[in-house]
């Protein structure tokens, strides 16, 4: 099958590798020649812009947008509506605000172009392990793209979670949950650090080795701590992608109590303040929270 992929950064570049590995014809689009060169090394064809992309794949086209959330994604979706043909389909796989999806779908529909929003989890290791895909689209579009979900997703990890907008909604909540889980791990590490007689790395390895709190996140934490058990040169400031904020806003709108997720988001805000006192705790948060989702 053929697919165009716009945005060849860490996530988009990894998807190129997985799609090509599954035998599909991929045309990657990126403003940076270095990114296009990497895509070609992994077996993809490349184009400099969406107009050139249209000349390299046949309809009905599937174009996956993997760009940072915000205006760059909005502008790209608008541009695709102008150049694609009726029957083509645009997938927004970035960490976009779920509230943008209905507008994208409506604007593209004026040109006869279909739309799907897909929340993607798996980070820089997704190209090896497969991605978790939370798909929002019409049932017929989901069935038509079964080959795509099979190529990118883990076994059982690609699910249609609802109509347009549901994919990014579920991914936002996923990130909110992740904030809370990471905060708990960081606080556990801080408590272990208060006991110098305890081997902190060995303790977290034990947690990962079959215990009830084991997880893919904890596996990444243990790997990071093995290389840097004292968190040397780790910044104490933690950024947030915006998804935790959107989750908190939706919880407030619906009056659904989410104290753990909201407190974890506020802990990230606090990490950017000079008033935060516990270096071990904030460094742990930065180390753990810095893992890409």
Helix, strand, coil tally for the chain in percent (to 5):
55, 15, 30
Whether residue 2 contacts residue 61, with contact meaning beta carbons closer than 8 Å, is answered with yes
Chain mean position to CA 230: 28
Which class is domain 2-163?
alpha beta
Helix (H) or strand (E) holding 83: helix 71-83
Classify burial at 214, counting beta carbons within 10 Å of its beta carbon; exposed 0-12, middle 13-18, buried 19 or more. Answer: middle
Active site annotation includes 292: no
CA angle 29, 35, 40 (to 5 degrees): 75
Architecture of the domain defined by 171-289: Orthogonal Bundle (1.10)
Cα-based distances in Å from 45 to 48, 55, 156: 11, 12, 29
What residue ranges of the chain are covered by domains with CATH 1.10.1040.10? 171-289
The active-site residue out of 36, 114, 171, 245 is 171
Question: What residue ranges of the chain are covered by domains with CATH 3.40.50.720?
Answer: 2-163
Dihedral (CA of 120, 121, 122, 123) sign: positive
| 99: its two tokens | 């509230």
Would you give per-residue pLDDT tens digits along the chain (293 residues)? 999 999 999 899 999 999 999 999 999 999 999 999 999 999 999 998 888 998 999 989 999 999 999 999 999 999 999 999 999 999 999 999 999 999 999 999 999 999 999 999 988 888 998 999 999 999 999 999 999 999 999 888 899 999 999 999 999 999 999 999 999 999 999 999 999 999 999 999 999 998 999 999 999 999 999 999 999 998 888 988 899 999 999 999 999 999 999 999 999 999 988 654 455 666 666 666 655 54
Residue 170's contacts (CB-CB under 8 Å, 6 or more residues apart) are: 119, 134, 136, 161, 162
């Amino acid at each position: 099958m053929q697919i165009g992929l716009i945005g060849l950064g860490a996530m988009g570049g990894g998807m190129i590798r997985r799609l090509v590995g599954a035998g599909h014809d991929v045309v990657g689009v990126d403003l940076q020649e270095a990114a296009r060169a990497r895509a070609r090394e992994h077996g993809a064809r490349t184009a400099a812009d969406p107009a050139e992309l249209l000349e390299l794949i046949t309809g009905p086209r599937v174009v996956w947008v993997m760009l940072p959330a915000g205006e760059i994604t909005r502008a790209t979706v608008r541009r695709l509506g102008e150049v694609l043909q009726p029957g083509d389909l645009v997938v927004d796989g970035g960490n976009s605000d779920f509230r943008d999806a209905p507008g994208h779908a409506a604007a593209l529909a004026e040109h006869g172009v279909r739309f799907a929003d897909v929340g993607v989890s798996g980070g820089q290791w997704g190209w090896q392990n497969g991605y978790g895909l939370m798909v929002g689209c019409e049932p017929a579009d989901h069935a038509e793209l079964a080959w795509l979900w099979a190529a990118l997703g883990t076994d059982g990890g690609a699910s249609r979670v609802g109509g347009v907008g549901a994919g990014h909604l579920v991914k936002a909540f996923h990130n909110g949950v992740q904030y809370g889980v990471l905060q708990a791990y960081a606080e556990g590490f801080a408590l272990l650090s208060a006991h110098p007689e305890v081997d902190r790395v060995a303790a977290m390895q034990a947690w990962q080795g079959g215990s009830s709190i084991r997880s893919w996140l904890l596996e990444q934490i243990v790997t990071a701590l093995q290389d840097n058990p004292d968190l040397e040169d780790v910044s104490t400031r933690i950024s947030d992608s915006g998804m935790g904020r959107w989750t908190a806003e939706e919880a407030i709108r619906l009056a659904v109590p989410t104290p753990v997720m909201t407190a974890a988001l506020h802990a990230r805000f606090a990490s950017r303040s000079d008033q935060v006192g516990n270096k071990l705790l904030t460094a742990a948060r930065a180390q753990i929270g810095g893992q890409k989702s």
